[in-house]
Chains A and B, each alone.
Chain A
Amino acid sequence: MRGLLLAATLLALVPLVLIIYYLLKKGLGSINGSFFTSDPTGSFFGSIGGVRSAIVGSIEIVALATVIAVPVGVGVSLYLTEYGKEGRFSQLVQYFVDVMTGVPSIMFGLFIYISLIITHVGGNFTAWKAAVALALLMLPIVTRSSEVVLLLVPSSLREAALALGAPRWRVIFRVVLPTALPGLVTGSLLAVARAMGETAPLLFTVGSATALTYSLGQQMNTLPLQIYNDILSPRAVVVAQAWAAGLTLVVLVLLLNVIARFISRRSRIA
């Protein structure tokens, strides 16, 4: 029986090993000097360019998404742990946040399409709209993980501060949040990693672009969409580049995961 369970465990790791192996094998070969320094040409002949614009776009969009999602997510979790407590409304919010974590990521793209793109709010397809879609995707993750961490902050610390005569907002900002900080950062980074790898919410929000742009008000290229389009390309050399881009994306995501775990180890609370 032990053997069977061990076999299943090894079986579960086979895809991971294979994926990493092929990413390295096929991806490393396609990374050349211009991979990180030039933009995809998108042309059917000649040089295919690199993925610079995709990397820049992904980082910029995810950064904006983080700036939106983390304060809101932590704010909602603060509401749930510090103010709402076990009230009816807070339980309702908690429940919906739970349910939101299970909403398919493509629904967030649809949501932005329905609310911001059909209505032509500030242009048609733009990078910032994609960022909002990713922010909505991150929101339940950030809220959920923050809530867990805030609940780990011992209530004795809140009591100690309140008993000194501190108003609740100071207790939150000077005692609760600083104590929970490493955990909050970890949860947020995991959400960032998740958003970084998502393709579906970008499909009909970010538009299509290959050129490098830093403006969030324009259409942008992103790493996941670049990979998706490369996979569908008939040119073998483009497909080969997809592996390299895939490797880049996985490295970015894994890096975020590793940093997140590293920070959580330094947490002062369990």
Chain B
Amino acid sequence: MEPSATTLSGGRPDFGRSPLSRLPDQFLRRGLTALAVLILALIVYFFIRLIQESGSTFSQFGLSFVFGNDWDVSRNIYHGAPLLVGTLITSGIALVIGVPVAVAVALYVTELCPRRIRTPLAILVDLLAAVPSVVYGLWGVFFLAPKLMPAEKWFASTFSLIPWIGGGASEVTPTNYFIAGLVLAVMILPIVSAIAREVLATVPPEHKEAALALGATRWEMIRMAILPYARPGIVGGAMLGLGRALGETIAVVLLIGDAPAIGKHLFSQGYSLASVIANEFGEATGVHRSALFAAGLVLFVLTLVVNIVARAYVSRGKRGERGSSVDAPVLTASTTAQPTQ
């Protein structure tokens, strides 16, 4: 008797295979279960240790660690608002730029482009995900930042009256929130686009045909039949992208400017939770190190929440059925064998 079936077959007692021949099965089953337990244990252990290590920071600074705008290593004051704000601003920029493009790419690839170039196009977009983040940083620092400076200056002076954006050309720095956010937009594009593609592929053809049969143009069909159906999945994909953007470290540390204060506007230097850890952890001790662990804890919780919400959306977007690359179908030996006959 396979042990798994023993438990599943309605509490029937053990079927008494001789101990020796059951041994490999039990061994394998226990070993694999142990691995699964190990994963859970690691996560819990990490969470507890992170809380322990950052404990002294939270007891010293309390909520001002999250809301206070003063991160000063020399005075040993660690109020992390500049980090949190930087993380949120850059990720926000990434979403605003990246998601529309990603969804447009997904729509083009699934609905409009000639069948022949569909796969090559999808592969090309996926290739963006294969570029290591340090290479994005390299490219951002030495190509994108200097090339975009004039445009940013023009933008800053033209819209100088708008708060958060303007401020005049003189205040634009080569590395800033915007550049970091822009590169993040490129980095989250492939994942958002891939999920959007998967979700769009699950839209039942009948929906589309129904819309077309009513005399809708292709664009109206996309708006009426596809987007409403795919919306939860696309929102979930965007949130997974957000999770990526929030936690991205190396490209951001190279491009955000690493200034430990909340920047005045879009083109100012700033800091982020991940980049402060990358930048300062190496030489940190005592309270400083604890504060960096605290930044890690905040980042961890933030990405967990975003990911959990995103998963919920994505699985809803796929109507209970879990798709391929991001989520696996729960179809198993069991569910396929229907209780018929």
Which of chain B's residues have a CB closer than 8 A to the CB of A269? none
Chain A residues numbered 86-123 whose CB sits less than 8 Å from any CB in chain B: 86, 89-90, 92-93, 95-107, 110-111, 113-115
Name the contact of A204 in the complex, choosing from B107, B124, B130, B282 (C-beta under 8 A).
Answer: B282
Asked if A6 and B108 make an inter-chain contact with CB atoms under 8 angstroms apart, the answer reads yes
The SS class assigned to the B binding surface is: helix
> With A9-B109, A76-B36, A169-B25 known to touch, is A22 a contact of B139 (CB < 8 Å)?
yes
Which of chain B's residues have a CB closer than 8 A to the CB of A84? 33, 36
> With A81-B332, A104-B247 known to touch, is A139 a contact of B293 (CB < 8 Å)?
no
Name the contact of B306 in the complex, choosing from A1, A13, A102 (C-beta under 8 A).
Answer: A102
Which of chain B's residues have a CB closer than 8 A to the CB of A159? 333
Asked if B186 and A83 make an inter-chain contact with CB atoms under 8 angstroms apart, the answer reads no
Asked if B332 and A254 make an inter-chain contact with CB atoms under 8 angstroms apart, the answer reads no
Which of chain A's residues have a CB closer than 8 A to the CB of B319? none
> With A107-B247, A200-B274, A231-B141 known to touch, is A11 a contact of B332 (CB < 8 Å)?
no
Chain A residues numbered 1-43 whose CB sits less than 8 Å from any CB in chain B: 1-2, 4-6, 8-9, 11-13, 15-16, 18-19, 22-23, 26
Interface stretch among A44-52, A59-67, A144-152, A209-217? A144-152
Chain A min CB distance to B249 (Å):
4
Chain B residues numbered 296-341 whose CB sits less than 8 Å from any CB in chain A: 296, 299-300, 303-304, 306-308, 310-311, 324-337
Q: Write the chain B residue with the least CB distance to A152.
A: B329
Tell me the bound Cα distance from A80 to B193 in angstroms. Answer: 28
Most buried by A among B35, B299, B335: B35
Chain B residues numbered 114-138 whose CB sits less than 8 Å from any CB in chain A: 121, 123-125, 127-128, 130-138
Is A239 engaged at the interface, CB distance under 8 Å to the other chain?
A: yes
Name the contact of A246 in the complex, choosing from B138, B304, B325 (C-beta under 8 A).
Answer: B138
Is B31 engaged at the interface, CB distance under 8 Å to the other chain?
A: yes
Tell me the bound Cα distance from A103 to B108 in angstroms. Answer: 30
Tell me the bound Cα distance from A18 to B140 in angstroms. Answer: 11
Asked if A250 and B132 make an inter-chain contact with CB atoms under 8 angstroms apart, the answer reads yes
Asked if B127 and A155 make an inter-chain contact with CB atoms under 8 angstroms apart, the answer reads no
Is A136 engaged at the interface, CB distance under 8 Å to the other chain?
A: yes
Which of chain A's residues have a CB closer than 8 A to the CB of B310? 102
Chain B: interface size category: 35 or more
Which of chain B's residues have a CB closer than 8 A to the CB of A182? none
Asked if B50 and A9 make an inter-chain contact with CB atoms under 8 angstroms apart, the answer reads no
Name the contact of A4 in the complex, choosing from B104, B311, B329 (C-beta under 8 A).
Answer: B104
Is B256 engaged at the interface, CB distance under 8 Å to the other chain?
A: no
Q: Write the chain A residue with the least CB distance to B128.
A: A16
Is B277 engaged at the interface, CB distance under 8 Å to the other chain?
A: yes
Which of chain B's residues have a CB closer than 8 A to the CB of A19? 131, 135-136, 139
Asked if A114 and B50 make an inter-chain contact with CB atoms under 8 angstroms apart, the answer reads yes
Asked if A15 and B186 make an inter-chain contact with CB atoms under 8 angstroms apart, the answer reads yes
Asked if B33 and A168 make an inter-chain contact with CB atoms under 8 angstroms apart, the answer reads no
Can you list 8 residue pairs at the A/B interface with Cβ under 8 Å? Answer: A12-B101, A76-B35, A95-B311, A113-B281, A148-B329, A169-B24, A199-B132, A257-B130
State the 8 A-B residue pairs at the shortest beta-carbon distance, nearest first: A104-B247, A197-B132, A155-B333, A8-B104, A102-B307, A79-B32, A5-B108, A148-B328
